[in-house]
Amino acid sequence: MSGLTANTDLLKKILVGFVADEVHKVGVNKAVLGLSGGIDSALVVFIAAEALGPENVHAICMPYRTSNPESEAHARLVAQACGVVYSVVPITPMVDAYFQQFPDADNMRRGNKMARERMTILFDHSALQRALVLGTSNKTELLLGYGTLFGDMASALNPIGDLYKSQIWQLSETMGVPREVIEKKPSADLWAGQTDEEELGFSYRQVDELLFRMVDLRLTRGELLLEGFEASFVDEIYKKVQNSHFKRRLPVIAKVSNRTIDRDFRYARDWGK
Partner 1 sequence: MDFTVTLAQIKPKLGCVADNLELIENHIRDAVTAKADLIIFPELALTGYFLKDLVPEVALQLDAPEIIRLLELSRSISIAVGFVEMTDDYRFYNSALYLEDGEIRHLHRKVYLPTYGLFDEQRYLARGERFRAFDTKFGRMGMLICEDMWHLSSSYILAMDGAATLICLSSSPGRGIEGETLGAASAWQQLTSTTAMFLNCRVLYCNRVGYEDGVNFWGGSEYVAPSGESLVRGTILEEDSVTAVVDEGALRRERIFSPMLRDENLFVTMQELRRIERERGR
Residue ranges binding partner 1 (CB under 8 A): 2-3, 5-7, 10-11, 13-14, 17-18, 21-22, 25, 157, 265-273
Beta strands in 112-183 (DSSP E): 131-133
Nearest partner of 37 among 15, 54, 59, judged by Cα: 59
With b meaning 16 or more CB within 10 Å and e meaning fewer, what string describes 106-116?
eeeebbbbbbb
Q: How far is the CB of 118 from partner 1 (least distance, A)?
A: 23
128 CB neighbour count, 10 Å cutoff: 10
Amino acid, single-letter form, for residue 28: V
C-alpha to C-alpha distance for 194 and 204, rounded to whole angstroms? 15
Q: How far is the CB of 135 from partner 1 (least distance, A)?
A: 11
User: Please, which residue, 201 or 271, has the CB nearer to partner 1?
Assistant: 271
Q: How far is the CB of 108 from partner 1 (least distance, A)?
A: 30
Q: How far is the CB of 91 from partner 1 (least distance, A)?
A: 29
Q: How far is the CB of 200 from partner 1 (least distance, A)?
A: 25
Beta bridge partners of 30: 131
Q: How far is the CB of 270 from partner 1 (least distance, A)?
A: 5
User: Please, which residue, 65 or 273, has the CB nearer to partner 1?
Assistant: 273
User: Please, which residue, 235 or 262, has the CB nearer to partner 1?
Assistant: 262
User: Please, which residue, 111 or 135, has the CB nearer to partner 1?
Assistant: 135
Q: How far is the CB of 132 from partner 1 (least distance, A)?
A: 13
User: Please, which residue, 128 or 217, has the CB nearer to partner 1?
Assistant: 217
Q: How far is the CB of 213 from partner 1 (least distance, A)?
A: 14
162 and 137 Cβ atoms separated by less than 8 Å: no
Kindly give, in sequence order, each residue whose CB lies less than 8 Å from that of residue 21, ignoring residues fewer than 6 positions away.
Answer: none
Sheet holding 30-34, edge to edge: 85-88, 57-61, 30-34, 131-133
User: Please, which residue, 25 or 255, has the CB nearer to partner 1?
Assistant: 25
Beta bridge partners of 88: 61
User: Please, which residue, 175 or 200, has the CB nearer to partner 1?
Assistant: 175
Q: Tell me if residue 33 falls in helix, strand or coil.
A: strand
210 and 229 Cβ atoms separated by less than 8 Å: yes
Phi, psi angles (nearest 5°) of residue 137? -85, 135
Element at 56 (helix H, strand E): none
Handedness of CA 20, 216, 267, 244 (dihedral sign): negative
User: Please, which residue, 10 or 254, has the CB nearer to partner 1?
Assistant: 10
